[in-house]
Amino acid sequence: MATLEVVDRRYRRTGPFAKRGDRRVAYRRHEDRAAHATLGFSARACAILAAEEQPDATLAGLLSLIARIAGARRAAVVLPGADRIIAVAVGPGEDPRQASDLATWVDGATDRTRQERATARATRVVMVTLPSGATGTPGGLPPRPTRVAMPLGGRDAPLIGLDFRNTRAASRAGERLPLILREQAAGFLVIATRVADSTRERARAAAAEGERRRFASTVAHELRTPLTGLAGYLDLLLADPLADPAIREEFIERSRRIVESMAELVNDLLEVSRIEAGSIELSEGTVPLADVLVAVRDQVEPVAASRGVDLSIRPPSRLRVAFGDRRAVERIVVNLVGNAVKYTGPGGHVDVDVAPDGMVALVVVRDNGAGIAPEDRARVFERFARLDHHRSLPGTGLGLPIARDLARLMDGDIGLASQPGVGSAFVLALPGPTRPDAAAVAAALERAVAAEQERLDAAAD
């Protein structure tokens, strides 16, 4: 017969059935530990929800709590369904790229059929910043952290993704996060993620409405000014039909320039509308940058010569290619080079070069014009933004915003480096033919802009 004896206030079975009995006791102890961990998690999660913080802070606190319990550095959660959402936490002052990588990775780890992936909408990512000291475990992450994906229930339940510093820490994830705890966590995370996402959506909608109102007001102002001038010239011509022919010709020429500027504004407004509506059709493929720069040189060189600006465009080897729409790439570069020529005075110099960074294609447009102050650099990409010392020059103020929107539609972007009194450098970054991910394109653009800024700063000293 088996006997029971008390050892350290716990029961242990002895005798011929001891081995089977030990397993049963161990199983009960495992359930007890899981229940105790779940109870502790629930208490702390309720405290986070009851703190009445902003929705982002609440979500960040829950993700941080799960990461700490798992012994992980970071946690991300995927809410499945037609309207997919991923929430991921990033530490204060931390490079968000690893958090973005985890979000992408856990999205790909979701159990979905090929048809579900093909018909699914784009996944929204809610990235929340953790308060100081609230990250999972101390210390940073290696370049390639160990990642674990764990379901928070059945097939249609949320999926949690975790970043660990090493495989040893990752191997204990299942023990630290038993199923009963994960099922409990699912409810908290679904509520917190959807509240944070809906709050952001409302804020975005309010901001978009304010932007639309400002846009409509600005458009009305931009059209009213030339219309007033045009009406004035027409009134003068009608009031004195027998005026000096030279004066009449001057008034007609001024009216023609006003009409041209209004046509340019209307065309740019239509382009903005198409971009916002998503109706821009891009024929993407490999784009030889040499052909693009030759076409840009043919268009801009006469303008540069008339302004007394030295334009230097060095077409690269035909092996230098980007991936995108040929016409869109050409339009972006024409805009960047045309702006550089416009804002560089007589005797100035504009230089256009291709400087690839790995699998990312970079086009750099440098000038030695007046430069742009640090506080104004972000404004040049705003619609209708005209810096004080640029107001005397013609333009709609939509060229750079359209150029950046087109670049982003092709998974690229535009950056700016500048130094007042020295010059500026606009950098266009586009994916190469191997289609590097967004993080690689962003990193290459950041490096190129930093190098250009260092060059301009050195020239100022």
Alpha helices in 317-437 (DSSP H): 326-342, 399-409
Which of 202, 234, 255 is where one domain is finished?
A: 202
**Residue 435, in any domain of the structure:** yes
Cβ pair 326, 283 in contact under 8 A: yes
Identify the band that residue 318 occupies on the pLDDT scale cut at 50, 70 and 90.
Answer: low
Counting the structural domains of the chain, the total is: 2
Count other Cβ atoms within 10 Å, centred on residue 138. 8
**Residue 255, in any domain of the structure:** no
Question: Are 315 and 421 contained in the same domain?
Answer: yes
Mean pLDDT of all residues belonging to the chain: 79
Measured in degrees and rounded to the nearest 5, phi and psi for residue 415 equal: -125, 165
Extract the tokens encoding 235: 């009134």
Looking at residue 1, what is its pLDDT? 31
**Residue 3, in any domain of the structure:** no
Question: Are 290 and 198 contained in the same domain?
Answer: no
Residue range(s) defining the domain that contains residue 53: 20-202
Query: Does the structure show a pLDDT above 50 at 113?
Result: yes
**Residue 220, in any domain of the structure:** no
Question: Are 180 and 307 contained in the same domain?
Answer: no
**Strands 310-313 and 349-354: what pairing?**
parallel
| Burial grade of 26 (CB within 10 A; 0-12, 13-18, 19 or more) | exposed
Query: Does the structure show a pLDDT above 60 at 19?
Result: no
Q: Residue 404: give its domain's CATH number.
A: 3.30.565.10
Beta strands in 225-348 (DSSP E): 284-288, 310-313, 321-325
Extract the tokens encoding 361: 């294609």
**Residue 248, in any domain of the structure:** no
Which of 143, 167, 202 is where one domain is finished?
A: 202
Extract the tokens encoding 289: 């940058």
Question: Are 133 and 31 contained in the same domain?
Answer: yes
**Residue 258, in any domain of the structure:** no
Question: Are 188 and 70 contained in the same domain?
Answer: yes
Give the range among 6-10, 319-323, 403-407 with minimum mean pLDDT: 6-10
**Residue 46, in any domain of the structure:** yes
242 φ/ψ sector (left φ>0, alpha ψ -120 to 50, else beta): alpha
| Burial grade of 314 (CB within 10 A; 0-12, 13-18, 19 or more) | exposed
pLDDT tens-place string over residues 177-234: 888 888 888 888 888 888 888 888 888 788 767 767 766 766 676 677 778 888 888 8
Query: Does the structure show a pLDDT above 50 at 135?
Result: no
How many Å apart are CA 76 and CA 90, to the nearest integer?
10
Question: Are 53 and 162 contained in the same domain?
Answer: yes
3-state SS, residue 301: helix
3-state SS, residue 171: coil
Tokens 């509520």 sit on residue: 191
Which of 144, 174, 202 is where one domain is finished?
A: 202
Question: Are 160 and 295 contained in the same domain?
Answer: no
pLDDT tens-place string over residues 270-317: 777 777 777 777 888 999 999 999 999 988 898 888 889 999 998 887
How many Å apart are CA 50 and CA 43, to the nearest integer?
10
**Residue 221, in any domain of the structure:** no
How many Å apart are CA 230 and CA 251, to the nearest integer?
9
How many Å apart are CA 203 and CA 206, to the nearest integer?
5
Question: Are 194 and 310 contained in the same domain?
Answer: no
3-state SS, residue 146: strand
Identify the band that residue 131 occupies on the pLDDT scale cut at 50, 70 and 90.
Answer: low
Q: Which residues contact 433 (CB under 8 A, 6 or more apart)?
A: 286, 321, 322, 323
pLDDT tens-place string over residues 329-376: 998 999 899 889 988 888 899 999 998 888 899 999 999 988 888 877
- Which value, in Å, is the radius of gyration of the alpha carbons in the chain? 31
